[in-house]
Structure 1
Amino acid sequence: MDSILVRGNGELHGDIPIAGAKNACLTLMPATLLSDEPLTLTNAPRLSDIKTMTTLLQSLGAEVSSLQDGQVLAMSSHNINNHVADYDIVRKMRASILVLGPMLARYGHAVVSLPGGCAIGARPVDLHLKALEAMGAELELKDGYIHAKAPGGLKGGIVNFPLVSVGATENALMAATLAKGTTVLNNAAREPEIVDLAQCLRKMGAQIEGEGSSTITIQGVDRLNGATHPVVTDRIELGTYMLAPVFCGGEVTCLGGRMDLVAAFAEKLDEAGISVEETDKGLKVARRNGLIRAVDVTTAPFPGFPTDLQAQFMALMCIAEGTSKLEENIFENRFMHAPELIRMGADIEVHGGTATVTGVKQLKGAPVMATDLRASVSLILAGMAAEGETVVSRVYHLDRGYERVEEKLGAIGAHIERISGV
């Protein structure tokens, strides 16, 4: 099993290219199931989760080809011959549930295993199921599988989400494109990945209005055609690499970065004393005066502070001046990185969904273990600001969401290397 070795670092300088969004690509890929014509995605990230979704789609009979070193995905679902998403594949990744809506909409039936993924709370799929039921789906949970059918096809309906759910919004949006009549999604998620999906579906012939707002209206069509679509920039990778020069000093430009993707995050960086400047190349980041101020953060659905940047920001607050409070409102059990940061000398107290972090002058390198995707990269960032060496184990989590981390950080001066497992 691979590990990442990080040594305490000096200043970082240069450019970091930001990949296409993992969460967007994992949503766009199942959209191929809605049409028998080719769907091509450009700017695709090269990640293990993308390989898992590729395997899942291929198991259903879709053709998926990875081109141009994995940055282009050419897909076709003209010969779907299996309607069962098997547990052995689905258990590896929560996004696998996103094949349910498209399969049900196009074929009228599907059997999908309950999904897996990072261990960051229960993350139930009930909102996905209630949305599909509002469109006339008949659902049964049996032996760990969702058995779904819509013998006469899905029908337009009113979906009132009691909570904002990105995944449920995505599943319902895809399903509604082929439903008979009009579907309205109320309290829909507003994330850029939702907007990206709607734009792709519109290229395929879908009739959608309101994406990016809390109400999305979809007029169902008889069929969708093929399309070519670029995956939106990964705002979580963007936010993560924006922090690199903050931990180490220096100045780094995140290529392709846009302020609208990380506005709430950039606002907190500004409060902490960090300069973020939008240029024609991307976002340029540097400390203003060498100091980092403690800042309180509360995670919230977009356009609020992203839960997927909470671990990285906590690591930063470990070396800030003063005491900060981080409140996690999206997922339970999402402070599992705190004990690992404490091993490095951090001062953190966790009570329920709130973590209190008092900054220390210096973190110390230590052997630590990644507990989930975002926790893994937070430990790498902390290691770059620590004295001595930090070894981060279980980095298979990291490879699910960040492509070629050691290459990207190494290119701007970070002392980082991958240690291959025995």
Structure 2
Amino acid sequence: MNALTKDSQKAAARVGLTSDEIVITGGKPLKGTIQVRGAKNLVTKAMVAALLGETPSELRGVPDISDVQVVRGLLEVYGVRVTSPSTGELHFDTANVEKAHFAEIDAHAGASRIPILFCGPLLHRLGEARIPDLGGCRIGDRPIDFHLDALRAFGAVVDKTYEGIYITAPNGLKGANIELPYPSVGATEQVLLTAVRAEGTTELKNAAIEPEIMDLIAILQKMGAIISVEPNRVILIEGVDRLEGYRHSALFDRNEVASWASAALVTHGDIFVEGARQSEMMTFLNVFRKVGGAFDVHDNGIRFWHPGGDLKPVTIETDVHPGFMTDWQQPLIVALTQAHGVSIVHETVYENRFGFTEALNEMGANIVVHATGLPNHPRRVARRDFEQAATITGPTPLHGAALHVPDLRGGFSHLIAALSAEGESTISNIGIISRGYEHIIEKLAALGADFVYEG
């Protein structure tokens, strides 16, 4: 059994999935209503932010996903009392925060990369942070150098040991002037979570400005932080001596919305995604319409459907917000296999995010990955040295296959490919999907999917 399968089974167990395999008979349109709750990429960071508060915090809209369970376990290792008084709600009591050992942290972290974001809050609360070797999805190099360099800029001392990384702040943390080489979401979160209690003012240049970042800033402001978002990706943070707890309803999960929209398109379905909002989805909605999909915005969600007719090829360049998210391209590529013509996807955020297309080709797709990108193709987004591109020629009928989930978004892409394919597909390692998609089995059933799950 490889490590990825072990990680998948652990993820599945955290959310009550007793099997790591599903058998799908494709060709049936997905129709119905499903609900999305808070964004994985916000909720887990909001949970970490609770460590900074001297009084209890309350977070609503929390999805039942394995990454949330990982962070909950880590908080409890550090002495935080976490309770769930109702579905989708977590309370955090940080009165008894205490130190933890590498072994305890590692046992709860699993493949998650979230422990790196505990550093700033732990340095403020305990004077030290211990970070085990980090995992995460296998989508390319995701170095933590941005994080460690930022922490050093605040005055932290970083020591690497055989167990992981040990970080201290012998002279306290001081405000710093930091310019990120790339507007990394994780590094921006690191700076925010560290700077709010650092002595003095921090200026962060080339910051990420994703909606999830803005929602984290809103949480920190509720806690007593002073944060200004300036033009041209500049964020100013004035450190304060004390932060209180917060009460907050999390931003919806944009990635899950885009995933179900793509599922509606490729299966010729009709899905109402309750909880989705237009303002944070505008870039995706434009592309969805160009491909030939239809949507209707309601006060409580967005309806996505295939209106009939041929799907159209598009050219996409992934980018940081407000560009087209890298997490959106994988499920949409499945729909592009059914578009009439050649679509091109330039991946500029991660250097190895097309690995999932190998399985799609085995199912009958015609996808060519260009390992060094397409340098002579007209572009709006600046080229990066490691970027790749994929050309998708369609339409190509897909047929059932045996699939093994490689990563979170690629796994959902395999899922909807199987739902649209002719015949039967067996998908293993589905626990990985539970890292970011709540109640996936129940939602498939609600949408009328034809599947067998022995769980």
Q: Which TM-score band applies after superposition, normalised by the shorter structure?
A: over 0.9
**Are 1:368 and 1:390, in contact at CA under 8 Å, matched by a contact in 2?**
yes
- State the 1:144 CA deviation: 4.7
CA drift of 1:414 comes to 2.1
| Secondary structure class of the residue paired with 2:84 | strand
Measured at CA, do residues 319 and 192 of structure 1 come closer, stay the same or move farther in structure 2, by a change above 3 Å? same
Give, in whole Å, the separation in 1 of the partners of 2:438 and 2:194.
30
Partner residue of 1:279?
298
Q: In 1, distance between residues paired with 2:311 and 2:325?
A: 20
Is 1:208 the counterpart of 2:227 in the alignment?
yes
1:383 and 2:400 are equivalent in the alignment: no
> What is the TM-score when the length of structure 2 is the normalising length?
0.88
**2:130/2:164 contact within 8 Å kept:** yes
Whether 1:28 aligns to 2:28 is no
Distance 2:231 2:297 in 1: 22
Q: Greater shift after overlay, 350-359 or 288-297? A: 288-297
Which residue in 2 is equivalent to 1:247?
Answer: 266
What residue number does 2:311 align with? 292
SS of 1:387's equivalent in the other structure is coil
1:349 maps to 368
State whether residues 99 and 126 of structure 2, in contact with CA within 8 Å, keep that contact through their aligned partners in structure 1: no
SS of the residue aligned with 1:409? Answer: helix
Provide the rounded CA distance (Å) in 2 between the counterparts of 1:366 and 1:418.
16
* Cross-structure match for 2:381: none
Note the residue ranges of structure 1 that are not aligned, 5 or more in a row. none
Offset from partner CA, 1:9-55 (integer Å, 9 cap, x none) = 33333322112111111111111111231111110010111111111
Letter in 1 for 2:438: E
State yes or no: 1:11 paired with 2:46: no
Q: Is the 8 A contact 1:60 1:84 kept in 2?
A: no
**Alignment correspondent of 1:167:** 186
Give the equivalent residue in structure 2 for 1:340. Answer: 359
Equivalent pair of 1:16/1:408 in contact (CA under 8 Å): yes
Partner AA of 2:399 in structure 1 = K
Which residue of structure 1 lines up, in the alignment, with residue 152 of structure 2? 133
Q: CA deviation at 1:213?
A: 6.3
* Structure 1 match to 2:393: 358
Q: 1:68 aligns with which of 86, 105, 117?
A: 86
Match status 1:81 vs 2:81: no
Could you tell me whether the CA contact under 8 Å between 2:411 and 2:432 is conserved in 1?
yes
SS, match of residue 138 in structure 2: coil
The letter of the residue matching 2:49 is A
1:173 shift after superposition: 0.1
1: CA distance between counterparts of 2:309 and 2:121? 50
- Looking at structure 2, the residues matched to 243 and 67 of structure 1 have their Cα atoms a distance apart, in angstroms, of 34
Matched, 1:93 2:93: no
Aligned length: 419
**Displacement after TM superposition at 1:109 (Å):** 2.0
Q: CA deviation at 1:268?
A: 1.1
Shift of 1:179: 0.6
* Counterparts in 2 of 1:211 and 1:72: CA distance versus 1, 3 Å: farther
How far has the Cα of 1:267 moved from its partner?
1.3
Give the deviation of 1:211 after TM superposition.
7.7
Q: Distance in 2 between matches of 1:224 and 1:277?
A: 41
Paired residues of 2:23 and 2:426 also in contact (CA < 8 A): yes
Aligned counterparts of 1:84 and 1:147: Cα–Cα separation in 2? 11
Question: Is contact 2:38-2:62 (8 Å) kept?
Answer: yes
Change in CA separation of 1:282 and 1:213 when aligned onto 2, cut-off 3 Å: farther
2:212 maps to a residue whose letter is: E
TM-superposed CA distance for 1:273, in Å, is 1.2
SS at match of 1:356: strand
Task: Kindly indicate whether residue 322 of structure 2 is the aligned counterpart of residue 322 of structure 1.
Answer: no
- Is there any run of 5+ residues in structure 2 with no aligned partner, and where? 1-18, 372-387
SS of the residue 1:222 aligns to: coil
Aligned-partner Cα distance in 1 for 2:35–2:115: 27
The two structures, once aligned, show a CA RMSD in angstroms of: 1.7
User: Cα deviation per residue 1:137-184 (whole Å; 9 max; x = unaligned)?
Assistant: 222222252222222321111110011111111011011110111111
Partner of 1:401: 436
Q: Which moved more, 1:221-230 or 1:150-159?
A: 150-159
* Offset at residue 91 of structure 1 (A): 4.1
Query: d(CA) in 1 for partners of 2:232 and 2:124?
Result: 24
TM-score normalised by structure 1 residue count? 0.95
User: Which stretch shifts more, 157-166 or 408-417?
Assistant: 408-417
Aligned pair partner of 1:190 in 174, 189, 209 = 209
Aligned equivalent of 2:447: 412
Letter in 1 for 2:64: R
